Structures are given as C-alpha cells and as structure tokens.
C-alpha cells in the first residue's frame, strides 16, 4: 500500500553514531583523558562503549537488514593521528573496511570527520582555540580524503560547533524550571579537576580549560577557529575528492517567542545560527540536528510549565523538527539533511511516537517546497552520552554492556519499515 506521506525518491533514511560514543577505548583522545581525572564531572568512563570498533561488520549488517539506506558515523582523528604528524595506516585500513562493509550492504556512508573528540596532543597547543588547529585539522582531513575519499559520498566536517552556546541555553532553561543555581564552572571543586586535567594535557595548571564538547584553553575565539577549520577542510576535500558533498552540522532548537522575548530570541538565533551563514551558504548541504524547542521570554529561556521531559531534561517536542526547518529555510537556501533527531527515553513507545510526529512535520515541510534530502535518527544504539555516561537511552537498538548483545527495539523496526516504504 502506498504510504500517505510519501517522501521524494532517493530520500536518505538512516541512523547516526559517533566514534567515541560507540567504538570503545578511544585512549588517545582528549575526552578519554577527562574521563579519568580524579573528581571529573564525567559520570563514568566510556570503556568498551558498544565495541563498535570490532563489531562494525555485524552492526552495519543489522542496520541494513532493518531497512535503512544510509549510516552516519565518524572517523576518529585521535586514532588516525595518535601523535602529532604520526598517521596510522592501520586505522585507515580499519575505516576502509567499514566503508567497504557499508558498500556491501548498500548503506550509503555519511562520514563525520570530527565529532567532539580530538587527539589529546592537540591540547598541548591549546585545543580548539589554538591558531594552528585549523591547519592541523585540514591536514588530518586531507590524509583521510586522500586515502578514503573515493568511498565517501558525503561528509560533515565538524559536529555542532554551536553546542557550547546551545548548552548554556539548555542549562539556563533547566535552572529556571528546577530553581537551580546558574551553571558554569563553579567552585574550587570543579576548578581542581580542571587544573588536574590541564596538567594531564601537559599545560600549566592555571590554563583555564573548557572541557566539553570541544576541549580547549579559554584564550582565543573558539567559533572563529572552528569556522576556519571547516573552511580549510572544505577546500581540501573539494581539491582531493571533488565528488564528495560537504556539510557542516549545527544543533538547533525551534525557537518559540513569548511576548517581550523578541530581542532575546533574535540574539539567540544570531549566536546559534546566523553568525555561521556566511560560511555555510557555500556548503553542499546543511546538516541540521534537532532535539527539542526553546521558549524564550523577556529574560531568556523558559521551560514550559507542566511539559513532558525526556531523560535529558528536554521538553518532549517532536514538532520542533519541522519548526526549526522552517526557521532555517528562511535564511539558508542550500539542501538540508537532518543528520540527527531523536529522543532519550526508556519507553520505546514514546520513541515510536516521537519519530512519527517528527516525520509528519518534516513531510509537510517538503510539501511546502523545502529541499530536505534525508533523515538520520540519533542514535542507532544506546551509547555513551558524554558527561552523562550510559544512563541516557537514545537508541533504536539496546546494547547489553556486559555481553555486548544487541537487542532490536520496536522503534528500529518502525523506522526501518518507513525507510523501506519511503514514507509513512
């Protein structure tokens, strides 16, 4: 039977992961260092994660069998270049086989070249505020593309460069709802683990470290450095692998404005989105990632009273996806791919409903003429949710952390069937 909401031919249906969150034992990365500092705010170490580094072949087959046509995963810089200037051919062979497995199973790979983690050596230079970082990143990207470019049709360079700013908003709205003290780096407690981290990175203990999602010393302008890294990487990709489509990902909430909140809302949209436009408009696609909405009043973000919360503490709001697509499409005319959308919930029926409502909204946006070319659910697996550890369950597939056994949830079958039918 023909679906009521049919998507355009060739629409990409997939799921997404990130290396550090699923591979396991990413020991040369900056985040691994932070996980193991005494007093760290990270809930638990990533350890073996989902052991995707070894189980990728069975995982890729599983995703293909479920009906997906594409898989977004990341290549880990800390593995490709474990020491500055030392590139690992064995790591490249690993990712080549992953790409090969995707091809064998007809899963089009979408590769993220940097998903929050960097090699720990980058922090000796200052991490994502160091002036050398864009060039070093572009050198790593060039190496990957020279070796693997022919097998990579789509790349996202950097993941959610705006997340540090977005997190500040999320925290402000949660603090307001829960009457918490404003969040920031507080008290000697936090300072002392960060000082220990500075020493572990080979820095002076007084170097002020920004730990997550991009790790850097607080001294330069992070956004400028990251945008320059994206531009240099994009130029390298276009030179080395001209057929690969390049995108940049941002995490964006739909913005709803309460009376009197107009100025704050405009300021928020400028910080989270508009400041990136001059660079983004020259990309091949925009990688849009959305989880919820943000309601903004005269004093900033407000959590809607009585609204249902996800495990992350976000408002359960699948309609936010369509809402933010409409907001983005006003200013940006390149194709949009939804490279992340999902919900952390222990109740898989809530996930099924989330997907259904999000996709209905997306379908309406396409009907309105917006060029949306794909949808990736975050995430394929219950995985390592950074500072929050393994407590958040975003996955379509559960993973037993002792046995590594995968258990397919109803939501995986649900979305897989939509992918097969190209609609719902």
Q: Which residues bind ligand BGC (CB under 6 A)?
A: 18, 21, 159-160, 163, 251, 289, 340, 378, 385, 394
Q: Could you tell me the end-to-end alpha-carbon distance of the chain, in angstroms, rounded to an integer?
A: 10
Nearest CB to ligand BGC, comparing residues 138 and 392: 392
Decide whether 194 or 251 has the Cβ nearer to ligand BGC: 251
Closest distance of CB 150 from ligand BGC, Å: 27
Q: What minimum distance in Å lies between the beta carbon of 388 and ligand BGC? A: 8
Alpha helices in 183-283 (DSSP H): 187-200, 222-240, 262-272, 277-280
Residue 11 pairs in a beta bridge with none
Residue 310 CB, shortest distance to ligand BGC, in Å, is 10
Of 160 and 294, which CB lies nearer to ligand BGC in the complex structure?
A: 160
Least Cβ distance, residue 385 to ligand BGC (angstroms): 5
At how many degrees (to 10) do helices 89-104 and 133-148 cross? 50
List the one residue out of 348, 347, 342 whose CA is nearest residue 375.
342
Minimum Å gap between C-beta 155 and ligand BGC is: 15
Burial class for 71, CB neighbours closer than 10 Å (0-12, 13-18, 19+): buried
- Measured at the CA of 356, the angle between CA 355 and CA 362, to 5 degrees, comes to 85
In whole angstroms, the minimum distance from the beta carbon of 5 to ligand BGC comes to 26
Q: Which is nearer to ligand BGC, 196 or 351 (CB)?
A: 351
Gap between the Cα atoms of 412 and 302, Å rounded: 33
Dist CA 416 CA 342 (whole Å) = 15
* Residue 59 or 160 having the CB closest to ligand BGC: 160
List, by residue number, the catalytic residues: 160
Total residues found in the chain within this entry? 424
Q: Residue 379, preceding bond cis, omega within 30 degrees?
A: yes
Residue 189, classified by CB atoms within 10 Å of its CB into exposed (0-12), middle (13-18) or buried (19+), is exposed
> For residue 421, what are its two tokens?
């039918």
Residues 40, 32: contact at Cβ < 8 Å? Answer: no
User: Residue 21's closest CA among 288, 387, 343, 348?
Assistant: 387
Minimum separation from the CB atom of position 314 to ligand BGC (A): 9
Residue closer to ligand BGC by CB (options 216, 386) is: 386
Sign of the alpha-carbon dihedral angle for 329, 230, 248, 185: negative
- Of residues 91 and 292, the one with the C-beta less far from ligand BGC: 292
- Strands 209-210, 154-158: pairing is unpaired
């Amino acid at each position: 039977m023909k679906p009521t909401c049919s998507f355009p031919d060739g629409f990409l249906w997939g799921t997404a992961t990130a290396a550090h969150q699923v591979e396991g034992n990413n020991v040369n990365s900056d985040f691994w260092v932070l996980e193991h500092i005494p007093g760290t705010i990270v809930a638990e170490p990533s350890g073996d994660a989902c052991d995707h580094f070894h189980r990728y072949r069975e995982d890729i087959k599983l995703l293909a069998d479920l009906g997906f046509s594409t898989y977004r995963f990341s290549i880990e810089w800390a593995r490709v270049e474990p020491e500055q200037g030392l590139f690992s051919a064995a790591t490249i062979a690993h990712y080549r086989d992953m790409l090969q497995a995707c091809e064998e199973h007809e899963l089009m790979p979408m590769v993220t070249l940097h998903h929050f983690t960097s090699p720990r050596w980058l922090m000796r230079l200052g991490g994502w505020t160091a002036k050398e970082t864009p060039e070093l990143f572009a050198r790593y990207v060039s190496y990957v593309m020279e070796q693997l470019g022919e097998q990579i049709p789509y790349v996202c360079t950097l993941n959610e460069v705006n997340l540090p700013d977005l997190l500040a908003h999320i925290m402000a709205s949660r603090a307001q709802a829960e009457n918490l003290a404003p969040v920031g780096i507080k008290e000697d407690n936090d300072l002392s683990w960060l000082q220990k981290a500075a020493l572990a990175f080979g820095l002076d203990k007084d170097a002020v470290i920004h730990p997550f999602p991009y790790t850097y010393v607080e001294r330069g302008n992070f956004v400028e450095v990251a945008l320059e890294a994206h531009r240099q990487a994009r130029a390298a990709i276009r030179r080395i692998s001209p057929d690969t489509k390049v995108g940049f990902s941002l995490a964006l909430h739909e913005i709803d404005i309460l009376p009197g909140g107009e100025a704050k809302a405009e300021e928020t949209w400028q910080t989270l989105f508009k400041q990136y436009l001059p660079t983004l408009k020259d990309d091949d696609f925009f990688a849009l990632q959305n989880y919820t909405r943000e309601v903004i009043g005269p004093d900033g973000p407000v959590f809607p009273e009585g609204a249902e919360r996800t495990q992350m503490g976000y408002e359960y709001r699948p309609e936010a996806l369509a809402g933010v697509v409409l907001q983005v499409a006003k200013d940006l005319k390149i194709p949009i791919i939804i490279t992340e959308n999902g919900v952390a919930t222990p109740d898989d029926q809530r996930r099924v409903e989330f997907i259904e409502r999000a996709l209905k909204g997306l379908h309406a946006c396409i009907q309105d003429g917006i060029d949306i070319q794909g949808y990736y659910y975050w995430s394929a697996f219950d995985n390592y949710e950074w500072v929050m550890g393994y407590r958040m369950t975003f996955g379509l597939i559960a993973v037993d952390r002792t046995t590594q056994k995968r258990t397919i949830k109803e939501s995986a079958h649900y979305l897989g069937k939509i992918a097969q039918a190209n609609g719902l």
